[in-house]
């Protein structure tokens, strides 16, 4: 099926990697459901898509809220009649602190958005995806998969490792039903997510690591761009990746090989 006939849902699409992915999939011709945490941010990204000649439906929901996610998917079914692509991107850095200082509710908040939110997104979209087959991309991280040197990030890293395990399980489960499931693992990317990170007393947790010149082999001190992650997302949901499932793609300029 050509991209122009496909419908994509992107969570966390109000900024960063989600926004870049929504713009890229729309540029490829898909109708994009722009799911943001706030309606205002979803509207802004949808307007960008429309200004560029694309089609977008802005919606707002907390991905950790089962009823809210279910309602969004029902709206997709009622208004668009199908769903071909899901990009489960919504996430937070949350609180980074020594494990004996993280409050249970802080742990729950990070796991709830990053891991439970991914589960809920897939739980409610799979019934639409399997009707004609489709593709899922889960946005994880190098943290918790290849890299464990970010002091105090135990909740975040655990949530990201869990996303990869979930994606691999679903890749096997959904393959006979025509749905592919893959993961992108970004490294340092120039987005706003770090602005929402709370770090407490992490300076005493670090273990000295000797870096080569330039933390990111490909770009030195320059972080990657959200659009570069979106390029990987676009490939994984395309027909060019029709025999690819259960795979992680690291979009980090080689960072996780040296950190």
From 64, 156, 179, 189, active-site residue:
156
Assess contact for 132 and 82: CB atoms under 8 A: yes
Calpha distance 55→25 (Å, rounded): 10
Q: Look up 156 and say whether it is catalytic.
A: yes
**What gap in Å lies between CA 40 and CA 47, rounded to an integer?**
11
Alpha-carbon torsion, ordered 234, 239, 242, 244, to 10 deg: -20
CA distance 82 to 85: 10
SS (H, E, C) 197-212: CEECCCCCCCCCCCCC
CA angle 64/66/71 to nearest 5° reads 120
Bridge partners (DSSP) listed for residue 190: none
For residues 226 and 185, the answer to whether their CB atoms sit within 8 Å is no
- Pick from 90, 111, 77, 117: which is nearest to 36 by CA? 90
Report the candidate in 134, 137, 110 with the shortest Cα–Cα distance to residue 121: 137
- The answer to whether 121 touches 231, Cβ cutoff 8 Å, is no
Instruction: State the catalytic residues.
Output: 156
């Amino acid at each position: 099926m050509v991209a122009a006939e496909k419908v994509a849902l992107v969570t966390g699409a109000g900024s960063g990697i989600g926004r870049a992915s929504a713009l890229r999939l729309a540029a490829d011709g898909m109708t994009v459901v722009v799911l943001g945490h706030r309606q205002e941010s979803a509207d802004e990204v949808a307007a960008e898509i429309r200004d560029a000649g694309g089609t977008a439906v802005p919606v707002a929901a907390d991905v950790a809220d089962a009823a809210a996610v279910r309602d969004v998917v029902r709206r997709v079914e009622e208004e668009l009649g199908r769903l071909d692509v899901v990009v489960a991107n919504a996430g937070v850095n949350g609180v980074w602190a020594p494990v004996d200082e993280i409050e249970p509710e802080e742990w729950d908040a990070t796991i709830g958005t990053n891991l439970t939110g991914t589960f809920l997104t897939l739980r409610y979209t799979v019934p639409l995806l399997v009707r004609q087959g489709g593709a899922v991309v889960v946005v994880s991280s190098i943290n918790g998969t290849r890299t464990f040197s970010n002091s105090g990030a135990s909740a975040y890293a655990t949530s990201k490792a869990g996303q990869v395990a979930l994606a691999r399980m679903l890749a096997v489960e959904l393959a006979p039903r025509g749905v592919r499931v893959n993961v992108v693992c970004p490294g340092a990317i120039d987005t706003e997510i770090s602005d929402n990170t709370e770090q407490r007393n992490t300076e005493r947790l670090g273990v000295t690591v000797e870096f080569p010149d330039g933390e990111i082999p490909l770009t030195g001190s320059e972080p990657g761009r959200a659009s570069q992650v979106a390029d990987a997302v676009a490939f994984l949901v395309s027909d060019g990746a029709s025999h690819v499932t259960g795979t992680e793609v690291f979009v980090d300029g080689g960072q996780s090989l040296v950190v």
